[in-house]
């Protein structure tokens, strides 16, 4: 059986996952599911990147040991995958024994090639992206990705002779136009490779949360080298399974880490004598009000909350359809609602429901005798052929558009046959129409399965059909006499909530208007020493940070608060609680029906609450 190996990046579990992480997993899942339907033996990996200084510091901030911290945080990423119906075959964690063994093995191989030597690294480092930066790549002296201060490092380390592989990588990219996609990202890497490539520092000594080097236990493996090797661990390097699945067919990653994958990873593989992956597909960022969602900036949108509010499949659909694959795309709740209401409910849901209820009500749930409309079947076949080609080329947004156009076509067809009127005057025409429409519903049910698996499973049940594969998806092969089940609504429309009306008796007084109430993002949370109840929160407003002390430790573990939004009063006289100055007061926040201290939706930090 032909194989297909697709991976996502493995996420830093320094904070809870946000919509950007969900996006990458959903896109990879669409491709993995499509390939499985086509009959490929698929390995789909995702997971968490758990070593390094960033994680060690995040753990320290909330008073936990790194291992205890990553166990807790990694489970949130796994939970997200399960919630979003991500059909991963392996959720890999870099703290697992199997990975540590492979990482050490690969390091030994690099040494055997003569590509590792000892030296002193003297330069700049951004802990947020765990990356070394030459001075000239900084923007206003800050990390070009996170716009945060970089640290000066001077320490003994082991270097990897990355420079040796510059020409090989260049030639590989030039000879294989599909190696890095989309083209814009490929050009970026090609242009950066015009500059001489430096050797890479691949060990650290000033902290210990990592994999000790087999040759020198004082050093731990640089977290990026450690993380990239996960792509080998997950397929069981160096076993037969590895031999079957390597090279990877697609590494799916975001645009901030294309250099690490296209250049660092390629040179590590070349040094160890392994083949390069077939494709590295670089997707864009999910943005909100023009800004990239980011853990470090505290701009996070909780995908689990959205999935619960709008349904998992509506969220999956929105992400693939709204964000052209390979480009950046904006998230807004209005946008999500609009796609759900006007495309999923009004077009797809409406077509399916009309056809199946008509079959149920007028034909007792039995597909009527009739004639297949060959013209329609050919038209559908052409679109499906196009969608299939697009999926092969990883153009998932366009593929989804093609398939959804068939739902629109179905509505048109149903409408033009007018079966509700024709049933008396022309029962034969009505039967033909229904036979063809049921078949079109079947086509949609299979073709949309990679995008909206649970909806399509429910639809398959209604159609009394087993989805077995992609082959023949376009065929109108549901025969007259086939029985369908009772139709159910696939998508419920969701209207924006009306603003709550103030209850009588509660007036806003002039005095209350004097309070300056703002929305802020929690960037740090820790216990106040010597107190059971108090937490100290660092809250980021638009241009400033405030320390807020609140007696909520009984109800909120500090790590749950990081990345959440809170409502605070900022123009109070500062007060000292257990020796810590509180520069504001935490208020309750209203999030839909829920009243609590935090909200998951993202409003720009610093926003004034009226
Ligand atoms: O970079 N929109 O982890 P990470 C879309 N551990 N994708 C986004 C995004 C956004 N707003 N924000 C982040 C790491 N991502 C490393 C990877 S792989 C061997 C090691 C994407 O948690 C990001 O581009 O910072 C990356 O592909 C993934 O989420 C994990 O990011």
Backbone angles phi, psi at 198, to 5 degrees: -90, 160
251 part of the active site: no
The answer on pLDDT for 381 being more than 50 is: yes
Q: Which residue has the tokens 């005095």?
A: 511
The per-residue pLDDT for 236 is 98
Choose among 414, 409, 399, 404: nearest CA to 342. 404
What Å distances lie between residue 104 and 157, 260, 586, CA to CA? Answer: 16, 19, 48
| Banded model confidence at residue 594, pLDDT cuts 50, 70, 90 | low
The answer on pLDDT for 593 being more than 90 is: no
pLDDT in tens, 4-62: 999 999 999 999 999 999 999 999 999 999 999 999 999 999 999 999 999 999 999 88
Q: In the chain, which residues fall in CATH 1.10.730.10?
A: 332-463
Backbone conformation region of residue 488, classed left if phi is above 0, alpha if psi is from -120 to 50, else beta:
beta
pLDDT in tens, 220-259: 999 999 999 999 999 999 999 999 999 999 999 999 999 9
CATH superfamily assigned to domain 511-596: Nucleic acid-binding proteins (2.40.50.140)
35 part of the active site: no
The answer on pLDDT for 499 being more than 60 is: no
The per-residue pLDDT for 252 is 98
Backbone angles phi, psi at 74, to 5 degrees: -60, -35
The per-residue pLDDT for 510 is 61
Helix (H) or strand (E) holding 225: helix 223-228
Q: Which of 64, 99, 255, 295 does the annotation list as catalytic?
A: 295
The upper half-sphere exposure of residue 415, i.e. CA atoms within 13 Å in the direction of its Cβ, equals 9
The upper half-sphere exposure of residue 320, i.e. CA atoms within 13 Å in the direction of its Cβ, equals 28
Give the tokens for residue 486: 């009772």
What Å distances lie between residue 90 and 234, 243, 484, CA to CA? Answer: 7, 17, 36
What is the secondary structure of 120-146 as a DSSP string?
EEEEEEETTTTEEE-GGG-BTTB-TTT
172 part of the active site: no
Residue nearest to atom 8 of ligand 1 (CA): 20
CA 118 to chain CA centroid, nearest Å: 38
The per-residue pLDDT for 298 is 66
Q: Which of 6, 13, 24, 230 for a ligand 1 pocket mutation test, highest count of atoms within 8 Å of Cβ? A: 24
The answer on pLDDT for 503 being more than 80 is: no
Beta bridge partners of 540: 521, 545
Ligand 1 centre distance from Cα of residue 295 (Å): 10
Check if the beta carbon of residue 426 is closer than 8 Å to that of residue 363: no
What's the chain's Rg over C-alpha atoms?
Answer: 28
In the CATH scheme, what is the code of domain 332-463? 1.10.730.10
Specify burial of residue 95 (Cβ count, 10 A radius: 0-12, 13-18, 19+): buried
The answer on pLDDT for 585 being more than 50 is: yes
| Banded model confidence at residue 545, pLDDT cuts 50, 70, 90 | confident
126 part of the active site: yes
What predicted TM-score, i.e. pTM, was given to this entire model? 0.84
Ligand 1 centre distance from Cα of residue 254 (Å): 6
Ligand 1 centre distance from Cα of residue 63 (Å): 25
Strands 580-582, 286-288: parallel, antiparallel or unpaired by DSSP?
Answer: unpaired
Residue nearest to atom 23 of ligand 1 (CA): 254
Mean pLDDT of the 311-319 span: 98
Ligand 1 centre distance from Cα of residue 535 (Å): 29
| Banded model confidence at residue 155, pLDDT cuts 50, 70, 90 | very high
Residue nearest to atom 12 of ligand 1 (CA): 20
Q: Which residues have CB under 6 Å of ligand 1?
A: 9-12, 20-21, 23-24, 49, 227-228, 230, 253-254, 256-257, 285-286, 292-293
CA 2 to chain CA centroid, nearest Å: 27
Counting DSSP H helices and E strands in the chain, the numbers are: 21, 26
The per-residue pLDDT for 435 is 98
260 part of the active site: no
18 part of the active site: yes
Residue nearest to atom 16 of ligand 1 (CA): 11
Using DSSP's 3-state secondary structure scheme, residue 562 falls into coil
| Banded model confidence at residue 509, pLDDT cuts 50, 70, 90 | low
What is the average pLDDT score of the chain? 93
The answer on pLDDT for 506 being more than 50 is: no
Check if the beta carbon of residue 279 is closer than 8 Å to that of residue 250: yes
Q: Which of 47, 143, 254, 326 for a ligand 1 pocket mutation test, highest count of atoms within 8 Å of Cβ? A: 254
Q: Which of 7, 8, 11 for a ligand 1 pocket mutation test, highest count of atoms within 8 Å of Cβ? A: 11
295 part of the active site: yes
Residue nearest to atom 26 of ligand 1 (CA): 254
Using DSSP's 3-state secondary structure scheme, residue 159 falls into strand
The answer on pLDDT for 343 being more than 90 is: yes
The answer on pLDDT for 146 being more than 90 is: no
Strands 151-160, 41-48: parallel, antiparallel or unpaired by DSSP?
Answer: unpaired
Check if the beta carbon of residue 24 is closer than 8 Å to that of residue 252: yes
Check if the beta carbon of residue 248 is closer than 8 Å to that of residue 277: yes
Residues belonging to the chain: 610
The answer on pLDDT for 427 being more than 70 is: yes
Percent of the chain with pLDDT over 90: 75
Ligand 1 centre distance from Cα of residue 300 (Å): 13
Least confident of 234-238, 398-402, 450-454, 529-533: 529-533
Give the tokens for residue 147: 């716009």
Give the tokens for residue 513: 């208007």
Beta bridge partners of 121: 155
Alpha-carbon distance of 283 to 279, in angstroms, equals 12
Alpha-carbon distance of 203 to 155, in angstroms, equals 10
Q: In the chain, which residues fall in CATH 2.40.50.140?
A: 511-596
What Å distances lie between residue 72 and 15, 48, 86, 129, 156, CA to CA? Answer: 10, 12, 20, 21, 33
Q: Which residue has the tokens 């002039």?
A: 510
The answer on pLDDT for 505 being more than 90 is: no
Q: Which of 292, 297, 395, 442 does the annotation list as catalytic?
A: 292
Residues 6+ apart with CB under 8 A from 395: 325
């Amino acid at each position: 059986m032909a194989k297909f190996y697709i991976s996502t990046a493995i996420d830093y579990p320094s904070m809870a996952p946000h919509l950007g992480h969900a996006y990458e997993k959903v896109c990879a899942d669409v491709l993995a599911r499509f390939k499985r339907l086509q009959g490929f033996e698929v390995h789909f990996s995702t997971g968490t990147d758990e070593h390094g200084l960033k994680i060690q510091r995040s753990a320290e901030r909330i008073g936990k040991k790194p291992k205890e911290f990553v166990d807790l945080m990694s489970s949130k990423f796994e939970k997200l995958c399960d919630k979003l119906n991500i059909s991963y075959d392996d959720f890999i964690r870099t703290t697992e024994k199997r990975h540590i063994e492979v990482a050490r093995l690969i390091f030994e191989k690099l040494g055997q090639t003569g590509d590792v030597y000892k030296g002193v690294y003297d330069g700049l480092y951004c802990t947020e992206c765990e990356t070394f930066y030459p001075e000239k790549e900084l923007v206003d002296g800050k990390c070009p990705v996170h716009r945060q201060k970089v640290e000066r490092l001077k320490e003994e380390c082991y270097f990897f002779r990355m420079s040796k592989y510059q020409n090989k990588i260049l030639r590989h990219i030039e000879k294989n136009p599909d190696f890095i996609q989309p083209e814009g990202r490929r050009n970026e890497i090609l242009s950066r490779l015009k500059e001489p490539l430096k050797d890479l520092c691949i060990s650290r000594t000033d902290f210990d949360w990592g994999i000790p080097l087999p040759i020198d236990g004082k050093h731990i493996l640089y977290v990026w080298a450690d993380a990239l090797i996960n792509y080998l661990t997950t397929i069981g390097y160096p076993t037969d399974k590895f031999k079957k699945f390597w090279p990877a067919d697609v590494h799916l990653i975001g645009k901030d880490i294309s250099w690490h994958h296209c250049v660092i990873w390629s040179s590590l593989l070349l040094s160890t004598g392994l083949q390069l992956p077939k494709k590295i597909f670089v997707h864009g960022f999910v943005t909100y009000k023009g800004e990239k969602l980011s853990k470090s900036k505290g701009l996070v949108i909780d995908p689990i909350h959205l999935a619960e509010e709008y349904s998992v499949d509506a969220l999956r659909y929105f992400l693939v359809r709204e964000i052209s694959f390979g480009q950046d795309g904006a998230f807004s709740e209005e946008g999500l609602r609009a796609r759900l209401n006007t495309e999923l409910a009004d077009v797809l849901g409406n077509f399916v429901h009309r056809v199946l209820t008509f079959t149920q009500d007028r034909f007792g749930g039995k597909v009527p005798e009739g004639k297949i409309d060959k013209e329609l079947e050919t038209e559908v076949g052409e679109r499906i052929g196009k969608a299939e080609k697009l999926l092969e080329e990883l153009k998932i947004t366009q593929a989804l558009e093609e398939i959804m156009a068939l739902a629109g076509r179905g509505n048109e067809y149903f409408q033009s046959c007018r079966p509700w009127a024709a049933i008396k005057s022309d029962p034969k025409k009505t039967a033909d129409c229904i036979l063809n429409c049921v078949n079109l519903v079947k086509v949609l049910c299979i073709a949309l399965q990679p995008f909206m698996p649970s909806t399509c499973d429910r639809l398959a049940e209604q159609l009394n059909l087993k989805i077995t594969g992609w082959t023949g998806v376009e065929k109108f092969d549901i025969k007259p006499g086939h029985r369908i089940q009772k139709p159910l609504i696939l998508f419920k429309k969701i209207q924006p909530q009306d603003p709550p009306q103030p209850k009588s008796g509660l007036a806003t007084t002039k005095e209350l208007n004097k309070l300056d109430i703002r929305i802020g993002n929690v960037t740090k949370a820790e216990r106040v020493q010597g107190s059971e109840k108090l937490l100290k929160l660092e809250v980021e407003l638009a241009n400033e940070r405030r320390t807020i002390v609140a007696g909520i430790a009984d109800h909120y573990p500090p790590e749950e608060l990081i990345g959440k939004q809170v409502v605070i009063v900022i123009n109070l006289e500062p007060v000292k609680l257990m020796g810590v100055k509180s520069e504001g007061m935490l208020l309750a926040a209203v999030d839909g029906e829920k009243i609590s201290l935090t909200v998951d939706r993202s409003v720009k930090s610093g926003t004034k609450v009226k």
